C-alpha cells in the first residue's frame, strides 16, 4: 500500500530530513482582539513547563535555522534563543560558538531538532540540539546530538552525546524528545535516526558536562526502518496519569505501511512497547490535559485532504483523550469546517501542520494554537494562517466557540501576507514575560525568500494579543545566504 507523507514541494517541515518529508524591516501593529477572560489563580495546566535556560522565571524560546550559512558553510545551521523577561533579547548559537563542540560544516544542519530539560539537575534548563548531517569520523551524515548547558547567564558550553550504535543508522538525532519516562524525577532523552533504523536510543537522566549519562537502552516501535523511513517525529507526555511520561512516535506503520502515530507507555523501566496503541495518522503531535481530568490528551495534526483514514479536505486536528489505560477515552475532531472555526476548509490548506498547547489567557485551562501553512489568502498562495482555539471556561476541554484566525494582515500581527511565507510553519506558546499568560509565537519559514522569521504576540490581561515587530535573520545575526528558514522549528 502507498506510504502517506507530506508531498507539497517547497513547504517547510518540522523535521528537515529530505528522506522523511518532501516539504522542506518590521512593521508596527495594533491590538488583536481575542476572547477576553479574567486571569485567575487556577492550577497550572498539565503540559510540559516552559524552558528557562537562565533561571529567571521567565520562559525562554529556542528557534532553529538549520539551513543557515555559517562562515560560508551552507546548511551548517544555527539556533537562536530568545531570553524572556523584562530585557527580552536574542542570542544565536552555532558549532562555531565558544564552548559548543565541533565546528560549523556544510550541511551539518545544527538545530534540525531540539529538546529541552534540566538534564544535569542544576536548576537551569538545558537545550539538546541535533545536527543530523554531521560527519562523525568516516561516518558521513552519521549525525550527532549536543547538550548546551543552562546557567544564570543563559546557555554556556556544550557536551556531545556519543552515538551508541554509529554503524546502524544515519542522521542520528532526527528526531529527539525529552521526558521523564521512568518517573524518577530526572529528564531522559529519546533519540531517533531517520535512516537505517526504527530503533530509538534512550538515555536516562544523570547527564553531566563531562559526558556521563544514566542507563542507555533501546526501544523499537512497530514502524518501518530503512531509507525514507524511521521515526519522523517524537513527543512526550503523561497520557495515563501514572506519573511517567509516555512517548508518541510518528512513522510508517510496519503493519500496513501507512503513516501512523503510536503511543508507547512509560514505565518504571522506561519506555516500553508493551501495550502500544495505534492512534490516528498525522505528522505533528502534542500532549496536554485539555479537560482537567488528570490525564494527558494527545493532539494530532492530520494534514492530508484524502487518501488516509480520518482525512478531511484542508486538514484536521484530532484530540484523543487520555485515560488510565492510555489513549482513547473520547475523541474530538476539529477542521476548518467545524462550527466556530474561522474560514473554510480548502484543498491543500494543511490545517494542523503545526500545533502547540498552552494557557494563553491565564484561566488555568489549556488552549490550542494550530498552524495552516498552505492557506491561500485573498489570492496570495501559501501565505499561511494560524487558528487559536481556547479551552472552555468550565475546564471541559477545547471549544471552537470564539476561535481566532491570525494572518499577517490581522491587526496586531506584524508584516503582511506574501506568497510562500508559510506563516504558521511552527507555533509555540511560551510565557516570555512571566505574567501567567502564554504568549503566542508564530514562525514563517518562507519569509523573505526562505530566510524565515518569527513573530511574538504578547498575551494581555484584557484578552488581546499584540506584536509590534518580527524577528528576522538580520535581527539575530544569521546570514541571509542560502535558505536559513528561521522559524521552522521551536524547541519543545
Per-residue DSSP letter, 228? T
Q: Span 146-170, mean pLDDT?
A: 94
Q: Span 200-219, mean pLDDT?
A: 96
pLDDT per residue as tens digits for the range 339-388: 999 999 999 999 999 999 999 999 999 999 999 999 999 999 999 999 99
Instruction: Give dist(CA 440, CA 370) in Å, integer.
Output: 11
What was the pLDDT predicted at 229? 86
Sorted by sequence, the CB contacts under 8 Å of residue 411 that are 6+ apart come out as 29, 30, 31, 32
Confidence of residue 19 (pLDDT cuts 50, 70, 90): very low
Q: Is the pLDDT of residue 43 over 50?
A: no
Q: Model's pTM, two decimal places?
A: 0.92
Short-list 419, 309, 344, CA closest to 11: 419
What was the pLDDT predicted at 462? 86
Q: Span 19-30, mean pLDDT?
A: 27
Q: Is the pLDDT of residue 21 over 80?
A: no
What was the pLDDT predicted at 47? 61
Count Cα atoms within 13 angstroms, Cβ side, for 30. Answer: 6
Confidence of residue 195 (pLDDT cuts 50, 70, 90): confident
What was the pLDDT predicted at 7? 33
Tell me the pLDDT of the chain averaged across its residues: 90
331 — phi, psi (to 5°)?
-125, 145
Among 11-25, 39-53, 305-319, 388-402, which stretch is predicted with the lowest mean pLDDT? 11-25
Short-list 33, 62, 31, 39, CA closest to 360: 39
What was the pLDDT predicted at 156? 96
Sign of torsion over alpha carbons 6, 9, 14, 20:
positive
What was the pLDDT predicted at 48? 61
Looking at the chain, the whole-number percentage of residues with pLDDT higher than 90 is 83
Confidence of residue 38 (pLDDT cuts 50, 70, 90): very low
Look-up of cell digits 491570525:
406
Q: Span 260-289, mean pLDDT?
A: 96
Other C-beta atoms lying within 10 Å of the C-beta of residue 130: 31
Instruction: Give dist(CA 431, CA 85) in Å, integer.
Output: 9
Q: ω before 175 within 30° of 0 (cis)?
A: yes
Q: What is the SS3 string spanning 87-152?
A: CCEEEEECCCCCCCCCCCCCCCCEEEEEEEECCCCCCCCEEEEEECCCCECCECCCCEEEEECCCC
Q: Span 261-269, mean pLDDT?
A: 98
Among 95-99, 165-169, 203-207, 264-268, which stretch is predicted with the lowest mean pLDDT? 165-169
Q: Span 276-294, mean pLDDT?
A: 95
Q: Is the pLDDT of residue 58 over 80?
A: yes
What was the pLDDT predicted at 483? 96
Instruction: Give dist(CA 470, CA 418) in Å, integer.
Output: 15
Which DSSP string corresponds to 370-389? EEETT--BTTBTT--EEEEE
What was the pLDDT predicted at 144? 96
pLDDT per residue as tens digits for the range 418-461: 999 999 999 999 999 999 999 999 999 999 999 999 999 999 98
What was the pLDDT predicted at 245? 97
356 — phi, psi (to 5°)?
-160, 145
What was the pLDDT predicted at 44? 41
Sorted by sequence, the CB contacts under 8 Å of residue 137 that are 6+ apart come out as none
Q: Which residue has the higher pLDDT, 305 or 468?
A: 305
CA dihedral 256, 257, 260, 264 (to 10 degrees): 80
Q: Is the pLDDT of residue 18 over 60?
A: no
Confidence of residue 10 (pLDDT cuts 50, 70, 90): very low
Q: Which residue has the higher pLDDT, 329 or 80?
A: 80
What was the pLDDT predicted at 169? 86
Element (H, E) at 474: helix 473-476
Instruction: Give dist(CA 14, CA 190) in Å, integer.
Output: 17
Confidence of residue 168 (pLDDT cuts 50, 70, 90): confident
Q: Is the pLDDT of residue 16 over 50?
A: no
Instruction: Give dist(CA 223, CA 356) in Å, integer.
Output: 24
Short-list 388, 375, 396, 397, CA closest to 444: 375
Q: What is the SS3 string spanning 353-374?
A: EEEEEECCCCCCCCEEEEEECC
Q: Is the pLDDT of residue 40 over 50?
A: no
Q: Is the pLDDT of residue 37 over 50?
A: no
Q: Is the pLDDT of residue 42 over 60?
A: no
What was the pLDDT predicted at 35? 33
Confidence of residue 397 (pLDDT cuts 50, 70, 90): very high
CA dihedral 425, 431, 437, 442 (to 10 degrees): -10
Looking at the chain, the whole-number percentage of residues with pLDDT higher than 70 is 90
Amino acid at each position: 500500500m502507498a506510504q502517506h507523507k507530506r508531498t507539497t514541494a517547497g513547504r517547510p517541515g518540522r523535521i528537515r530530513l529530505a528522506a522523511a518529508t518532501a516539504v522542506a524591516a518590521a512593521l508596527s501593529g495594533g491590538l488583536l482582539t481575542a476572547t477576553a477572560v479574567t486571569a485567575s489563580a487556577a492550577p497550572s495546566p498539565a503540559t510540559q513547563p516552559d524552558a528557562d535556560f537562565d533561571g529567571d522565571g521567565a520562559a525562554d524560546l529556542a528557534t532553529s535555522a538549520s539551513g543557515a550559512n555559517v562562515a560560508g558553510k551552507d546548511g551548517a545551521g544555527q539556533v537562536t534563543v530568545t531570553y524572556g523577561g523584562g530585557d527580552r533579547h536574542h542570542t544565536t548559537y552555532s558549532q562555531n560558538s565558544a564552548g559548543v563542540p565541533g565546528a560549523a560544516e556544510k550541511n551539518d544542519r545544527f538545530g534540525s531538532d531540539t529538546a529541552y530539560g534540566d538534564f544535569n539537575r542544576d536548576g537551569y534548563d538545558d537545550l539538546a540540539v541535533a545536527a543530523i548531517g554531521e560527519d562523525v569520523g568516516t561516518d558521513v551524515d552519521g549525525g550527532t546530538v549536543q547538550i548546551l548547558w543552562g546557567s544564570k547567564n543563559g546557555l554556556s558550553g556544550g557536551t556531545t552525546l556519543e552515538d551508541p550504535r554509529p554503524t546502524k543508522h544515519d542522521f542520528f538525532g532526527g528526531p529527539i524528545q525529552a521526558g521523564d519516562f521512568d518517573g524518577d524525577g530526572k529528564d531522559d532523552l529519546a533519540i531517533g535516526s531517520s535512516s537505517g533504523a526504527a530503533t530509538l536510543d534512550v538515555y536516562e537522566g544523570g547527564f553531566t558536562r563531562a559526558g556521563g549519562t544514566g542507563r542507555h537502552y533501546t526501544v523499537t516501535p512497530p514502524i518501518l526502518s530503512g531509507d525514507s523511513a524511521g521515526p519522523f517525529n517524537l513527543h512526550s507526555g503523561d497520557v495515563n496519569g501514572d506519573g511517567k511520561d509516555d512517548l508518541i512516535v510518528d512513522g510508517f506503520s510496519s503493519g500496513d505501511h501507512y503513516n501512523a502515530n503510536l503511543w508507547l507507555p512509560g514505565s518504571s523501566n522506561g519506555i516500553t512497547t508493551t501495550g502500544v496503541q495505534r492512534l490516528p495518522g498525522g505528522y505533528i503531535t502534542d500532549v496536554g490535559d485539555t479537560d482537567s481530568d488528570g490525564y494527558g490528551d494527545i493532539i494530532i495534526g492530520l494534514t492530508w485532504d484524502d487518501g488516509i483514514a480520518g482525512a478531511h479536505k484542508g486538514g484536521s486536528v484530532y484530540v484523543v483523550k487520555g485515560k488510565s489505560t492510555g489513549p482513547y477515552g473520547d475523541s474530538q475532531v476539529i477542521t476548518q469546517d467545524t462550527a466556530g472555526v474561522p474560514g473554510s476548509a480548502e484543498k491543500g490548506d494543511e490545517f494542523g501542520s503545526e500545533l502547540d498547547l498552552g494557557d494563553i489567557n491565564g484561566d488555568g485551562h489549556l488552549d490550542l494554537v494550530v498552524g495552516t501553512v498552505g492557506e491561500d489568502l485573498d489570492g496570495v498562495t501559501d501565505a499561511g494562517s494560524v487558528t487559536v482555539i481556547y479551552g472552555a471556561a468550565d475546564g471541559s476541554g477545547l471549544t471552537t466557540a470564539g476561535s481566532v484566525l491570525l494572518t499577517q494582515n490581522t491587526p496586531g500581527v506584524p508584516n503582511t501576507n506574501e506568497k510562500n511565507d508559510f506563516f504558521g510553519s511552527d507555533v509555540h506558546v511560551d510565557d516570555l514575560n512571566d505574567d501567567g499568560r502564554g504568549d503566542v509565537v508564530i514562525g514563517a519559514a518562507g519569509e523573505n525568500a526562505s530566510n524565515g522569521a518569527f513573530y511574538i504576540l504578547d498575551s494581555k490581561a484584557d484578552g488581546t494579543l499584540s506584536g509590534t515587530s518580527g524577528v528576522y535573520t538580520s535581527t539575530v545575526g544569521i546570514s541571509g545566504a542560502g535558505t536559513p528558514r528561521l522559524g521552522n522549528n521551536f524547541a519543545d
